[in-house]
Homo-oligomer: A and B are copies of this chain.
Amino acid sequence: MTKLKWGMIGGGEGSQIGPAHRLGAGLDGLFTFTAGALDHRPDEGRDYGIRLGLDADRAYGSWQDMLAGEKARDDRVDLVTVATPNSTHFEITKAFLEAGFHVLCEKPMTMTVEEGEAIVEVAKKTGSICAVNYGYTGYSLVRHMRAMVARGDIGKVRLVKAEFAHGHHADATDADNPRVRWRYDPAQAGVSAQFADCGIHALHMASFVTGQEVTKLSADTVSCIPVRTLEDDAMVNFRMDGGAVGRLWTSSVAIGRQHGLTIQVFGETGGLRWAQEQPNQLYYMPLNARLQIIERGEGNLSPEADRTSRVTVGHAEGMPLAFANIYGDLAEAINARKEGRVMDPAANLYPRAEDGLRSMAAVFAVAESGKADGQWLDARPPMFR
């Protein structure tokens, strides 16, 4: 298998997300970092790209230059990651898709539902891959959880309980710190803060593991630190199209919780529980039996789990490897296309434009329901109603 060529937009020097993507893309040796427009300041971006090992002619000064440059090449990049500020995701993703590139877009994919629908349509029209980076779904045992639900290990799903609650924005005296403040400012963050930032990961995971989509929801959003316009804590009740009931809590003022992403699924014949902070164990309880601890890397798991497990049982794996698993899915999807074969279904799990769109619809529904005393609202994007 030849290595694929990979390009990135955004992720300039000093950013957190840039190194994370380079780590994820490079970790399994599936992609070579080949092109980039890393900074909105052209010289800084080009210079940083060259220092990171890009050839000078593929260290671009802007995404527009990169689009033009790569389009013109025979050996164009196979995948473009968009890791720019949120408000620019739509424009860039759309432009690259239209030019026939495969794209992995950071979340949120867009700032509005309408833009989300536009991306879905472009992706459909061009046939290009448009993935969205809900990276926590890359964990091996999350994928096993999904596989267990899909093969019926816990029966019909009744209930999903999701949380993403941390305490890192709980200091009122730090609320004016620019690093924190923008997240709660509608002018910069949009209609939602904590739900759009963290809660949406938990909501997407609820869909991912159950194989069901959210239909309607009711939200209670609050600003525990009063100067904030947007919510720092939210409780969302929801319903899914396969009949499951959902409850989701997200918070940024839960002092004492570090990350707090957890997912529990309860079906007619069993329950499952997973927590991001201890990702190598999955708690499984069959009805009328005892709690069992499933270990990442143990034998006889699902193809989805086996494919995404690298080291032997008992060794910890962590977030960067989960992230790499998303890139692994994409490499397989791209290679399968190149080779004219059906991709490995166990890799066909990367979140896609439709997920990015549904997330955006959910964010708007949460924001609106939160203002309307928890009124139940349709959480589906119009094109999926």
Contact = CB atoms under 8 A, between A and B. Distances in A.
A293 B295 contact: no
B16 A23 contact: no
Give the top 4 A-B pairs by smallest Cβ distance, nearest first.
A259-B314, A256-B285, A258-B314, A255-B271
A315 B270 CA distance: 22
A304 interface: no
Given A20-B310, A258-B295, A317-B319, 17 more contacts: A3-B53, A16-B312, A158-B233, A158-B253, A235-B237, A251-B266, A254-B264, A255-B266, A255-B267, A255-B271, A255-B285, A256-B291, A260-B314, A310-B320, A315-B318, A316-B318, A318-B318
Interface of A: 1, 3, 16, 19-20, 22-23, 26-29, 33, 51-53, 154, 158-159, 161, 165-167, 170-172, 218, 220, 222, 224, 233, 235, 237, 245, 247, 249, 251, 253-260, 264, 266-268, 270-273, 276-280, 283-288, 290-295, 298, 310-321, 373-376
B159 A224 contact: yes
Nearest to A295: B258
Contacts of A290: 292-295, 298
Given A266-B170, A292-B290, A158 B224 contact: yes
A235 B239 CA distance: 13
Contact of A257 (B22, B271, B298): B271
Contact of A291 (B154, B293, B320): B293
A272 B257 CA distance: 10
Contact of A314 (B16, B166, B312): B166
Given A235-B237, A374-B376, A317 B318 contact: yes
Contacts of A319: 311, 315-317
A277 B314 contact: yes
